[in-house]
Structure 1
């Protein structure tokens, strides 16, 4: 099972890319994979091929919209075992601390 964190940065004319980022997040949401959206990126949970397929779909979509440059940062944590780590990792830290975190 993979936790894959990615940040995709489309480059276009102007400062705001929120509309393009929203289109990428729509692809993530429609993928059916568990995910967590953060201010600095998105975390996907699933098998290797399916998580990378979502990133590729986002890239391909942005490229098709005419983006002249796209930056992608990836961080992957693969572990043999069950799903559910997206929430379980945070829950474990909260258990050790003995309190709910402000996430």
Structure 2
């Protein structure tokens, strides 16, 4: 067996999770989720429609699972939207993907 350097395998994962049937405002529950995300140490970006995580598969899926379990304690129904982009050998795509598009447009965009 030949030995090769370990290649970084990074995932960008965007998710939105909230309880269903809890009324119009779910900001209290979302704040519980974001506290978990922030304390996890995983690189993230909060947006108005969800949260983007960057890390390896086990890291980001672990955070999503922990968020689910935190809501499951007192929420009878939970909605989750999730999309993921995996790319071997790259890091810091959370910012670099935006930078690349801004380079093509020729100016900074709102992010």
TM-score if structure 2 supplies the norm length? 0.88
Residue 48 of structure 1: aligned partner: 57
Q: Distance in 2 between matches of 1:37 and 1:31?
A: 14
Unaligned runs of 5+ in 2: 1-9
Structure number, greater radius of gyration: 2
Q: Which runs of 4+ in 1 moved over 4 A?
A: none
CA shift for structure 1 position 23? 0.4
Q: Distance in 2 between matches of 1:75 and 1:14?
A: 25
Q: Distance in 2 between matches of 1:78 and 1:9?
A: 24
Q: CA RMSD in A?
A: 0.9
Q: Distance in 2 between matches of 1:77 and 1:31?
A: 20
CA shift for structure 1 position 12? 4.4
Q: Distance in 1 between matches of 2:30 and 2:94?
A: 22
Unaligned runs of 5+ in 1: none
Residue 28 of structure 1: aligned partner: 37
2:75 equivalent to 1:72: no
Q: 1:62 aligns with which of 49, 71, 80?
A: 71
Matched residues, number = 102
Q: Per the alignment, do residues 13 and 100 of structure 1 end up closer, same or farther by CA in structure 2, a change over 3 Å counting?
A: closer
